[in-house]
A and B are shown apart, each in its own frame.
Chain A
Amino acid sequence: MRLRASILRNMLFFKLAQSVEKIGKSCFLKFTPDYVCFGAIHSVGDNDPAGGGGAVQCWSRVAKKHLFTDYKSESNCDNEIYLEMKVEDILLAMRSSSNATAVTMRMTGKSVDAYLSFSITSEDHIGNSRTITQDVPIVRIMSRDGAMTTTAFDEPMVPPPEVHIMLPPLDRLRHITASYKNIADYIVMSSNLSGEMLLSTTDGIRSFSHYQQGLDSHAIDARYGIAAKAQIETKFSGLVNPQLTSVEERYDDGDGEGPHNQRLRERPKDFASVMVKIVDLQRVLQSHCVKPQSVICSVIPHHSLLFLVYLDSAEEAALTYFIPEPSAQ
């Protein structure tokens, strides 16, 4: 089993690790000759001072050309390597690399005692170069069968999203969700295909009226309830509803129209809503630290939210977050 790479100057590899850091302590990496996958799940085992979150998940698949040069991934399983590591350890290597001229990564050691060894070369102002090595422990190397048992590498199977909307600047959302957190534990995110998004507080007690296709704000309150401390609702307008053709093609039911396009045609003003725990949403919003180009939220009504965080303008490197609606109490 061999793994080595020179990390590109854009440090995208570390930025992806940084985004994943807020989700869970463990990070799952899958190296293949063509691409690298990052995955993380927030689970009960992650001691969480912020209070238990739901099952937030995060994953990313990036082509090798965006991350590395001189990349080699070799193993007995189709040259695929599956690793579990602690995110904070990877980030220690990142901090040493802030002014580096070159960073190479190599897997070393035996299977029980394996490391990802980072050689970080920096130059001082005179021109002398200095190399330090940081060995980041690998928690475990997984076999392909072992990798199958963890859901961290796979995108969860979700029903087709019905609304895609580009989020307003993450800083504003962070202030707003921080205020909401003082009032209630849950938030309802509602978006429509007319560029509008509604956030509202709720205590998470739902009424089980029959499934409603489209909701206005009174109906949202009726379904999800309002928070006891105060009822707060924030409305954004003028947002962009992007067309995600790759996503749409996946859900195309043959006659050229998935639920999204159908909704766009028939009822663009109706809101699609999902209730999530505020701490989970805050975790996703913390991805602002990698200064994403744009963040798109996809809504699967009453089921879950998907967030696509584009790390660069070419939209080729993206991180996806998945927050499910908590199941009925």
Chain B
Amino acid sequence: MQRQEQEPFKCKFSAYLKNVRNLSTLLKSVHFKDTASCKISELGISFLLEESRCVFAKCIITHSVFEEYTYESPVGLTEDIQGPGREAYDEEGSVVFEVNLAILLTCLNTFGTANVPTGYEGQGYSGHGASGSTTAVKITYDGPGTTLNFVLEDDGIVTTCRIPTCDSEESMLFDFNEDSHAKIILKSEWLEEGLRDLDATSDRVVMRLSTVIPHLRISSLGTIENLDVNYSLGDVLESFQFPYDRPIESSYNFVHVLHALRACQVAQKATILIDDNAFMKMQFLIPAAERKWMYTEYSFSPLEL
């Protein structure tokens, strides 16, 4: 019986972003390791990174942030046809692949224009390059086994980058109890300050929540002393929802939690959620140009006490 060589399943993806800095800022907020899993769908692009299944970082840039965006999943996915590359697509037709984030960021920064100015500038930022102009980028992808392509244009100079991709392993995010969790909202710069104040000799970050002041206490247990950073409603916390009747305290790997500093630096708002199994999420709202938003979320599993 003869087997016919099948064409690998090809998708059609094309997106245009006027200012490359939006994308590079978002990627920097999750860049704690180089290997990332990228998912492209009709709704937008997301990148997922994980370390030892204990810390996850996910960032999302929706199609509305782009000036142009089209994604078409391959024909024949709904029928039960098998073929090369089929596993790269999920039930909704989105395509997933693995890519090296460091190389991606280097390519986006080819003209030296992808760096965020230090210091947060209120409602978004100008994103201008060294020459005063912005670098635009067009992203295309044809499906598993092909490269992820960027065409960057700055002042008449055109750079084309083709970045190799790999098959992605299935990543299982842990279950977070959406129905029962504590939720705290604050400006990300306050969270950043608090995390930076912690003692790096500590192996853990301790989060303590309570109905009495301080509502949130973040602590490090250093070799010489313990350090506490206190936050309270009416002071720095903008919102505090606490469905439990007793204070809760949980610990997380210090190095993992501090990865979230990357997101604090570029975000405007941070939301901290802790569920009844002590799984913690930190969600960040990152401004893109013209009152559009991008999202980054870090997830942490608790340390055994």
Q: How far is the CA of A171 from the CA of B155 in the complex (A)?
A: 14
B305 at the interface (CB under 8 A from A): no
CB pair A233–B130 under 8 Å, yes or no, is: no
Q: How far is the CA of A180 from the CA of B158 in the complex (A)?
A: 14
CB pair A230–B162 under 8 Å, yes or no, is: yes
CB pair A179–B106 under 8 Å, yes or no, is: yes
Measured between beta carbons, the chain A residues less than 8 angstroms from B130 are: 171, 175
Q: How far is the CA of A231 from the CA of B107 in the complex (A)?
A: 10
Partner of A182, one of B106, B156, B158: B106
CB pair B107–A237 under 8 Å, yes or no, is: no
- Interface centre among A228, A232, A238, by most chain B C-beta atoms within 10 angstroms, is A232
Within 8 A of B (CB), among A137-176: 168, 171-172, 175-176
Total A-B residue contacts, Cβ distance less than 8 Å: 62
B146 at the interface (CB under 8 A from A): no
- Nearest CB in chain A: distance from B110 CB, A: 5
Partner of A178, one of B112, B157, B161, B164: B112
Q: How far is the CA of A231 from the CA of B151 in the complex (A)?
A: 12
Closest to B160 in A: A233
Partner of B161, one of A172, A231, A236: A231
Measured between beta carbons, the chain B residues less than 8 angstroms from A232 are: 107, 110, 159-162
- Nearest CB in chain B: distance from A232 CB, A: 5
B202 at the interface (CB under 8 A from A): no
Measured between beta carbons, the chain B residues less than 8 angstroms from A238 are: 156
Which B residues have a C-beta under 8 Å from some C-beta of A? 100, 102-103, 106-107, 109-112, 130-131, 147, 156-164
9 closest A-B pairs by CB: A175-B112, A231-B162, A234-B159, A182-B106, A179-B110, A230-B163, A232-B161, A233-B160, A235-B158
25 contacts between A and B (CB under 8 A): A168-B157, A172-B157, A175-B110, A175-B130, A176-B110, A176-B159, A179-B106, A180-B110, A182-B103, A182-B106, A183-B103, A229-B100, A230-B103, A230-B106, A230-B161, A231-B162, A232-B110, A232-B160, A232-B161, A232-B162, A233-B160, A234-B160, A235-B157, A235-B159, A235-B160
